[in-house]
Structure 1
């Protein structure tokens, strides 16, 4: 029986342990991936420490991988024939930590809807940072009703606010919003302003400045922009709502919030904040992920219209470096994505 190494979470709040696991064959609509790189996300250390979205132990968690297709199920298209280089979103949340589907292992099972082939110009470590960021980005657009077919031109004067532009999700949101035709305003620390502009933001504001809300509102009015939509990547719902209220024009403005909005925070008339979530219905989620990965991400990478972001920091040790990487992430990083190479 074939085996591979996997990083198991034995119990809630315990260190992750690397040991052998049986290698399974993929189902009809699944892929078996030989993982080359894993990217870490803040939710990973929260799952380790607090048991979020885990039904049973031992569990295998983690979401972001890149690698090579070893085997494809009978119903999978030839796009994912063995040997294909891919980036993929491991469904650990929806599988509730079931060991076969977590990213923290050498050979996970991945739904084909959650994978995108990657061009040769992209390294495995670069490709690994894409899945969670763009799945969350597009879940946000769906949550607040931004159509997939959105295609504004600069003359439409449609602005979009991104709070937390140098974060993993924020940087993906900026690139996606720019491709949809929005004029993007973003916030970030002053040291990251030029980087965030390079991703497609028209103007970047220092969120640490005491009058940053007023500065954004003033700039939006001077530029003649209407902000019907916003995306809070880091948890600044009140500031985002204040800005959107001032710049929304007619109708209701909508804010996608990657962190859960504070339920006790006062609401602001004319602005609706919604928590970003993938489709609850399994079939709807499959369709959503198929669009994100099989179509949108595949095409954008082929055309070189997006770049991996933010900057990558490699954590040494492969699977054995996961606990160290999660501890670094827990302590806090800025404009940095931690990646392990296998």
Structure 2
């Protein structure tokens, strides 16, 4: 793990015209600096500090690459982890989980990636600060980046990553939904793919979720219903889009007054106003005629509990109902309903799964198959991240993604 210099220092005598010191021993010394600026966290509940002369991260494995960050997508966890002191493995710390930029050092191992490629990278491996977003350069791996096609702006690409990964794993692994075949390719069956991975290669704390969560006979089929609570979130957008492409019938539960004008136009889904939960439960039960077996919650334990009341196991066929909670599930178990959490570690710990997700995303972006989040741009680069996070704290960003250009 590289050491972080916490003091603001003057550039060294190796300055270039761009004001960055270069690695004298780097084969890419004309592209890769030695030092960079970082938005550094020194303690929980404190402001980020723009810190100069921090080391640029360098690959330590053959499958790693270096990305010059052009845009940072902000997630709710970016401010919540600071304010509530979680997911901060050490201090000082570099936060940030979504970025997009240009490859300036390609993997040493054979790869589909090359220098100059525009890529997006979801950083689910938050313990490795080399992969964090709040800096000018970051490490990723060949199986954790997706190339950005010309039809997608870099700033919008930065808004996709972690929300898409969570959505795809929730549907593809936890619920066993096959990802629709794109560009003439076969479907991607993550449920089957994870069963081809040696158990020893799967983190122990997610083995049960990956291998025992849902039986083959219970998996969603074209025409089945799925309900999504918190339908205005970015994760809900990708869940609904992936489900729609796979032929599921989608119900979005969201505040109709606040988000109805935008969500009612979302292709292939039904919007139910969640303002009155009891009424929303009855509406969903009426729409699905008691045949809702799949649901995903993106809000919290309380709303996940509302989804439980909407679900109905298929008793005659012995098929249980399944609920995935992105931020938690009810404490009390309910007969006939299986609770799931997203096995997010699969993305960075199991290369075959991460690569499958990124290749599918590349095809979806190239073909325009996925609707993408609405983006709001934040000013100020790394020094503007504090103000951008404050907007999120105040609840001013809802139903869209805040992106900082670097």
Could you tell me the TM-score, scaled by structure 1's length? 0.89
2:130 match: 100
3-state SS, counterpart of residue 80 of structure 1: coil
- Structure 1 partner of 2:157: 127
SS at match of 2:58: coil
Report if aligned partners of 2:305, 2:330 keep a CA contact under 8 Å in 1: no
2:375 maps to what in 1? Answer: 312
Q: Is the contact between residue 165 and residue 347 of structure 2 (CA under 8 Å) also seen in structure 1?
A: no
Unaligned runs of 5+ in 2: 1-22, 24-33, 182-186, 188-220
Structure whose alpha-carbon radius of gyration is higher: 2
Write the mapping of 1:221-232 to structure 2, written as runs, cut at 5 A.
221=289, 226-232=291-297
Question: Is residue 2:273 matched to residue 1:206?
Answer: yes
**Larger RCO (alpha carbons 8 Å, 6+ apart):** 1
Q: Please, what TM-score do these two structures have when normalized by structure 2?
A: 0.75
| C-alpha distance in structure 2 between counterparts of 1:64 and 1:232, whole Å | 21
* Residue in structure 1 matching 2:237, options 157, 171, 178: 171
**Which one of 67, 76, 80 corresponds to residue 113 of structure 2?**
80
2:69 is matched with which residue? 35
Q: CA deviation at 1:296?
A: 1.0
* Cα distance between partner residues in 1 of 2:314 and 2:388: 40
Identify the residue that residue 9 of structure 1 maps to in structure 2. 41
Could you say what secondary structure the match of 2:94 adopts?
coil
Distance 1:299 1:92 in 2: 24
User: How many Å separate the matches in 2 of 1:5 and 1:159?
Assistant: 48
The separation in 2 between residues aligned to 1:249 and 1:204, in whole angstroms, is 30
CA-based RMSD = 2.3
How far did 1:10 drift?
1.1
Match of 1:64 among 88, 98, 121: 98
The worse-fitting range, judged by mean Cα deviation, of 59-68 and 193-202 is 193-202
Residue in 2 aligned with 1:321? 384
Alignment counterpart, residue 297 of structure 1, candidates 361, 364, 381: 361
What is the rounded CA distance, in whole Å, between the counterparts of 2:328 and 2:65 in structure 1?
32
Supply the distance in 1 between the matched residues of 2:279 and 2:286 (Cα, whole angstroms): 11
1:24 is matched with 57
Q: Which runs of 5+ in 1 are unaligned?
A: none
Alpha-carbon distance in 1 for matches of 2:167, 2:379 = 29
Say which of 67, 71, 81 aligns to 1:47.
Answer: 81
1:19 counterpart SS class: strand
Deviation at 1:30, TM superposition (A): 1.1
Q: What's the CA shift for 1:227? A: 2.5
Q: Deviations over 1:228-262 (max 9, x none)?
A: 21111112111111111278874201111101224
Among 185, 208, 214, which residue is 2:251 paired with?
A: 185
Paired positions, count: 328
Separation of aligned partners in 1, 2:145 and 2:348: 17
Q: Secondary structure at the match of 1:301?
A: helix
SS at match of 2:293: strand
Q: Offset of 1:150 from its aligned partner? A: 6.4
Q: Look up the match of 2:3.
A: none
CA distance in structure 1 between the aligned counterparts of 2:222 and 2:123, rounded to whole angstroms: 38
Report the secondary structure of 1:47's partner residue.
helix
Shift of 1:92: 4.2
Partner of 1:241: 308
8 Å contact from structure 2 (residues 291, 312) kept in 1: no
Preserved CA contact (<8 Å) 1:105 1:319: yes
* In structure 2, distance between residues paired with 1:29 and 1:267: 42
Q: 1:108 to 1:160 in 2, by over 3 A?
A: same
Question: 1:66–1:128: 8 Å Cα contact kept in structure 2?
Answer: yes
